[in-house]
Structure 1
Amino acid sequence: MAASSANRLESRYGGVTLEGEPHALSAWFVVGLRVTMGLAFLGAGLGKLTIFAGEAFDASGYLMGAEGPLAGVFGAMAANPALIDIINVVVPATQILIGVGLLVGGLVRLAALGGAMQMSMFYLASWDVAGPLGFVNSDFVYLVVFLAIGAFGAGRILGADRYIEQLEVGGQALIERYPKLRYLLG
């Protein structure tokens, strides 16, 4: 199947222009990437629930073991029982919400931003930067993948965002009436 003129990638930023034509299968790979990351995060979140883990999730050990440039901050977080109680709920809950959002393709940019934020914190805590290109570890790769999912507008491809954006509100499509929602949907 030949690419149509509408099937183009183009960006101008800072005086630099990038152009290209994606392969006809690109949309399928974007969906596959979104679903794969959704399953990974849903599984990570569910795996932290007592019903599946057999014991309550506790982030304090991970935070105390942080080795990165923010090790002191993470250590202070671990030493604060009230904050740890919040973190122990927020981490699995947001992982589950991110996973579900990516799987159904709803609020994908918000989910991708949440995933990228979590992965940046994991990256800064693990600080596994050994080797000549050590700054590129799995946490960093996940961070970039989440940013790519958001940039691709992956929820518009076989996802709920495609339909949410077209919901009629006051005689207009939701995304036309509230254009700032483009930063959350897509």
Structure 2
Amino acid sequence: MSINTDNRLESQYAGIALEGRPHALSAWFVVALRVVIGGMILFAGLGKVSEWPFDAAGYLAYGVDPASPVSGLYAAMAGDAALMEVVNVVVPVTQLLIGGALIAGAFVRLAALGGAVQMALFYLGGWTGDWLALFDSTLIYGVVFLAVAAFGAGRILGVDRRLEQAEVGDEALIERYPALRYVLG
């Protein structure tokens, strides 16, 4: 195991400065975090596909606590048959894509953002109005997805590292198309 003494975490926001030196094992744990959260959402999608046809209408109409700020919206969604046709495909397919991308380390920032958005929607649906239930698993999963994106976890033992270094013309892909930094990493 090698220790890079130049490895630092630094940030300054709103006048608050943070800094530290991650342990040499940190890179391995970032990869483990990416793979575990990817596996979690991949298997959630596989569960929905294995019991096809998946139908979210029951959850949207009856599984959302009336105290939730989205209960009326979710109930209205459940009552729209055309919208439910889309939701019933989009939810499991995106879970499969997000999970596969995270495990492979491909398009990690885009995949992690998708996972965080899904967790936010599930979190709002599960909100009971009870402050003791504020930190439920979907909130924690959402934060983990965002951490994976922030760490650029696809650059560590992932496909994104190779994609960013791929040559396009005479320069690296990420240099030629800098906007890709928002989806790769």
**Shorter-normalised TM range:** over 0.9
CA-CA distance at 1:129 after TM superposition = 5.4
Aligned position for 1:141? 140
Q: Paired residues, what number? A: 182
Secondary structure at the aligned position of 1:4 is classed as coil
CA-CA distance at 1:90 after TM superposition = 0.1
Secondary structure at the aligned position of 1:165 is classed as helix
CA distance in 1, matches of 2:110, 2:42: 15
- How do residues 60-79 of structure 1 correspond to structure 2 at under 5 angstroms? 60-64=57-61, 65-67=63-65, 68-79=68-79
**Following TM superposition, where does structure 1 have runs of at least 4 consecutive aligned residues deviating by more than 4 angstroms?**
none
Compute the TM-score of the two structures, normalised by the length of structure 1. Answer: 0.94
Q: 1:44-72: per-residue Cα shift (whole Å, max 9, x none)? A: 111111xx22x410000111121211110
Aligned position for 2:122? 122
CA distance in 1, matches of 2:6, 2:82: 52
- How do residues 1-186 of structure 1 correspond to structure 2 at under 5 angstroms? 3-49=3-49, 52-53=50-51, 55-64=52-61, 65-67=63-65, 68-128=68-128, 130=130, 133-186=132-185
| Contact in 2 for aligned 1:108/1:154 (Cα 8 Å) | yes
Secondary structure at the aligned position of 2:69 is classed as coil
CA-CA distance at 1:170 after TM superposition = 2.0
CA distance in 2, matches of 1:18, 1:129: 33
Tell which deviates more after alignment, 26-35 or 5-14: 5-14
Question: Could you say what the CA RMSD is over the residues aligned between the two structures, in angstroms?
Answer: 1.3
Secondary structure at the aligned position of 1:48 is classed as helix
Secondary structure at the aligned position of 2:165 is classed as coil
| Contact in 2 for aligned 1:3/1:21 (Cα 8 Å) | no
Gap regions ≥5 residues in structure 2: none
Q: 1:16-67: per-residue Cα shift (whole Å, max 9, x none)? A: 2110000111111111110011111111111111xx22x4100001111212
| Contact in 2 for aligned 1:129/1:136 (Cα 8 Å) | no
Counterparts in 2 of 1:95 and 1:8: CA distance versus 1, 3 Å? same
Secondary structure at the aligned position of 1:155 is classed as helix
CA-CA distance at 1:15 after TM superposition = 1.9
Gap regions ≥5 residues in structure 1: none
CA-CA distance at 1:5 after TM superposition = 3.3
Compute the TM-score of the two structures, normalised by the length of structure 2. Answer: 0.94
Q: 1:78-126: per-residue Cα shift (whole Å, max 9, x none)? A: 0000000000000000000000000100000000000000000000001
Report percent identity of matched pairs.
59
